[in-house]
């Protein structure tokens, strides 16, 4: 990725792995000026779309909760208070692994649904690195 220095205007090449939480932070190679740019990546765009989706999801009475797993941590937790963070972390890790395994065989799979007793768990990939897990009282989720 090429970003221009805000101070001297020279081109700086920046590896996309240096972008953190939608911000590119770097020192100019030419003048040593500290630059900080908001950058929208595929992941930040996907997270924004997910936030809009969650606003709509709140209005559904059958939704128990949801969480967002990525980068080996729980990025966002909207699950009931009785669940421990370590349990959600284990669940997120294992569901992401199952979903990735399924996608390795069937590339067109966009989500995965599990039904356990009286609950349904929907797993959906969000961006490149994140997995959204939604727990609901009944299946399927409303289309809207």
Checking if the pLDDT of 40 tops 80, the result is no
Model pLDDT, residue 38:
83
| 93 and 124 belong to one structural domain | yes
Model pLDDT, residue 95:
92
Distance CA 75, CA 69 (A): 6
Model pLDDT, residue 141:
56
Number of domains in the chain: 2
**Average predicted confidence (pLDDT) for the chain:** 82
| 67 and 106 belong to one structural domain | yes
Evaluate whether residue 125 is within a structural domain. Answer: yes
| 62 and 93 belong to one structural domain | yes
**Where does the pLDDT of residue 144 fall: very low under 50, low under 70, confident under 90, or very high at 90 and above?**
very low
Evaluate whether residue 141 is within a structural domain. Answer: no
**Where is 2: in which H helix or E strand?**
strand 2-4
Distance CA 134, CA 90 (A): 15
86 lies in which domain range? 42-136
Checking if the pLDDT of 30 tops 60, the result is yes
| 51 and 122 belong to one structural domain | yes
10 or 60, greater pLDDT = 10
Instruction: List the CATH number of the domain containing 122.
Output: 3.30.450.30
Q: What is the mean pLDDT of residues 107-127?
A: 86
| 34 and 66 belong to one structural domain | no
What confidence tens digit (pLDDT) does each residue in 46-99 have? 666 666 766 666 667 788 888 888 888 888 888 888 888 899 999 999 999 999
| 21 and 90 belong to one structural domain | no
Whole-prediction pTM = 0.61
Residue with tokens 């939604």: 134
| 48 and 86 belong to one structural domain | yes
| 48 and 116 belong to one structural domain | yes
């Amino acid at each position: 990725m090429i970003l221009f220095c805000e101070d001297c205007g020279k081109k700086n090449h920046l590896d996309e792995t240096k972008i953190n939480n939608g911000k590119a932070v770097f020192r100019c190679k030419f003048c040593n000026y500290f630059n900080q740019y908001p950058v929208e990546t595929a992941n930040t765009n996907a997270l924004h779309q997910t936030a809009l989706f969650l606003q709509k999801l709140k209005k559904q009475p059958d939704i128990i909760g949801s969480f967002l797993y990525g980068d080996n941590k729980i990025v966002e937790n909207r699950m009931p208070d009785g669940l421990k963070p370590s349990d959600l972390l284990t669940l997120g890790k294992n569901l992401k692994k199952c979903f990735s395994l399924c996608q390795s065989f069937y590339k067109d799979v966009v989500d995965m649904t599990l039904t356990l007793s009286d609950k349904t768990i929907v797993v959906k990939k969000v961006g490149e690195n994140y997995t959204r897990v939604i727990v609901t009282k009944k299946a399927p989720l409303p289309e809207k």
